[in-house]
């Protein structure tokens, strides 16, 4: 694994792309770029986001991803006009937005300003951490449209929220404020409007400074062990943790601590 980190922005060449990408400091920022349509998801945007997420997992110089929306809205869900014409913003094997069915192995932070509705909220639920502007709103309004939140909302919302709160979202279709989402553990940090991306960058920088093998193993085990008993977890965790303890990074971490220097992670 390369130990170098790009510190200058590596932005998408095409400003008209529906997903803009930028790399800096080991962090890949993916921005939904349909502000005039409140960043409603299209098939093209889903395919572009899936490609960006593949890059996140494949590039050894990238440790963390951030997903956000341009123009003060995260994502208003699928583009209903295109839905009426038969388009589905789904990528085979990856689901809605190219994300919800197969999130990346590396950490993903959702930086939310404004509305995160329907599939947009389901993409938030597929992320690992959430930073939100204080006016952000989260909702699953599918029942108001004769639909259901089948891009993960029906089962992920009750995992991260109290059952009654999740059911209120699902059955009324009414949105939840950022403050309430934070109180119930859905959102990690609420910041001033316009500050979600900067706060997400700070969080991502902290994660990117840690050993990449340990970070990926921690995320994978935390997710996969949700339905395991304690006995099963202690037995099964070795497949995730033994490679970490046997790695070069496991030797580098204590050595750097003892020598009072920053660790140089190799990812091996």
Which residues are tagged catalytic? Answer: 122, 142
Query: Token pair for residue 229?
Result: 């008993």
In the chain, what are the helix, strand and coil shares in percent, each to the nearest 5? 45, 15, 40
Q: Under DSSP, is residue 91 helix (H, G, I), strand (E, B) or coil? A: strand
**Ramachandran angles phi, psi of 33, nearest 5°:** -120, 60
> Is the CB of residue 198 less than 8 Å from the CB of residue 186?
no
Pinpoint the alpha helices (H) of 26-118.
43-58, 80-84
22 burial via Cβ count (<10 Å: 0-12, 13-18, 19+):
middle
**Ramachandran angles phi, psi of 42, nearest 5°:** -120, 170
């Amino acid at each position: 694994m390369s130990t170098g980190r790009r510190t200058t922005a590596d932005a998408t060449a095409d400003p008209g792309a529906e997903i803009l990408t930028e790399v800096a400091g080991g962090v890949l920022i993916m921005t939904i770029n349909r502000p005039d349509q409140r960043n409603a998801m299209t098939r093209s945007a889903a395919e572009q986001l899936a490609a960006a997420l593949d890059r996140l997992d494949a590039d050894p110089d990238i440790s963390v991803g951030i997903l956000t929306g341009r123009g003060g809205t995260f994502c208003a869900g699928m583009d209903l006009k295109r839905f009426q014409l038969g388009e589905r913003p789904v990528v085979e094997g990856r689901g809605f937005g190219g994300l919800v069915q197969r999130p990346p192995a590396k950490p993903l932070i959702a930086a939310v300003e404004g509305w995160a509705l329907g599939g947009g909220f389901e993409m938030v639920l597929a992320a690992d951490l959430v930073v939100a502007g204080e006016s952000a709103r989260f909702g699953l309004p599918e029942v108001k449209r004769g639909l259901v939140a089948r891009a993960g909302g029906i089962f992920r919302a009750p995992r991260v929220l109290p059952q009654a709160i999740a059911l209120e979202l699902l059955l009324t279709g009414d949105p939840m404020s950022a403050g309430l989402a934070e109180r119930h553990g859905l959102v990690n940090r609420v910041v001033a409007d316009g500050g979600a991306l900067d706060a997400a960058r700070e969080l991502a920088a902290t994660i990117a400074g840690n050993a990449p093998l340990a970070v990926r193993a921690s995320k994978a085990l935390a997710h996969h062990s949700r339905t395991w008993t304690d006995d099963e977890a202690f037995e099964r965790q070795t497949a995730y943790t033994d490679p970490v303890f046997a790695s070069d990074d496991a030797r580098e971490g204590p050595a750097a601590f003892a020598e009072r220097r920053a660790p140089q992670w190799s990812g091996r």
